[in-house]
Amino acid sequence: MRSRAAWLERHVQVLTLIAEALASLGVRSLPPFYMLLGDTPSRRRHRYFRTRFAFSQADGYGEVAAPDLAGRMRSSTTTTRRRAMAAASEEPPRDNRLFWAGRCMNGARKRIVEIAPARPDLIEAYDTEANYDVATNRYSTKFRTMEDQVTTYRYMIDVEGAGYSGRFKMLLHTKRVVLLQDRPWREWFFEDIEPFRHYVPVARDMSDLAERIEWLRANPKLESEIAEEARYFAQTRLTPRGGGGGMGKTPWGSHRRRWQFEVRS
């Protein structure tokens, strides 16, 4: 992460998230554990930490994927944003295309921006690098908010950035079908969602993106069913009280027994 402001902001948010998780589990003490703040797991070995968490996990890495800020924090800001995006998608979209905007920091992002001019009937996409302020970790007022995106466009897509993408969970709360670009980074709930049930998969290199959009247009009933399944999953699993109440069925909860054993021993 290039911005010190972004690091500090994420640090405070993660501490809040962990405090909320431990409070909901009733854990008063536990051995030290490691929480990686970056967008990808790390190959670095951590000799003194038996339990290591990150926002995603991948083959060849040791971290366990844990809930991130977008899906689990109880803060009013996160809840308000999630509800605003859901409300913004209530009305039918005004534009029948897929929309994406972001900084083109990898090949997949560059590719979607390249495809858009060739298929303007299907895709609108922009590189927002010029509108991003590294010092403040904020976009200029010219940047289109996610609420505006889901209000206007029929299809949403989540594309990996420097690693995992936190906005995927937010998009699942809307009434728009979400296309998910393949990536090695798996979030804590990925084993519980299914392609063509909760989302529409897209190849990592975007080679089948246009084909997927055309398929959705030809199957509006399936499109509606996928969006409905995704929203139900998000409402029941990707909120502070999702998954049967509290954090018990998340990776924080699954490690509770191990932590308590280590404390007693």
- Domains of the chain listed by start with CATH number: 4-72+244-264 (no CATH), 76-237 (3.40.50.2000)
Coil, strand or helix: which one is 202?
Answer: strand
| Pairing state between β 138-139 and 153-158 | unpaired
pLDDT of 86 higher than 60: yes
CA separation, residue 5 to residues 1, 9, 136, 154, 196 (Å): 10, 6, 6, 34, 38
Structure confidence by residue, pLDDT tens digits, 157-179: 999 988 888 889 999 999 999 99
CA distance 66 to 34: 12
Under DSSP, the state recorded for 125 is E
Rounded average pLDDT over 120-145 = 78
Structure confidence by residue, pLDDT tens digits, 18-53: 787 778 778 777 777 778 877 888 766 656 666 788
What's the full length of the chain, in residues?
265
The pTM for the full model equals: 0.80
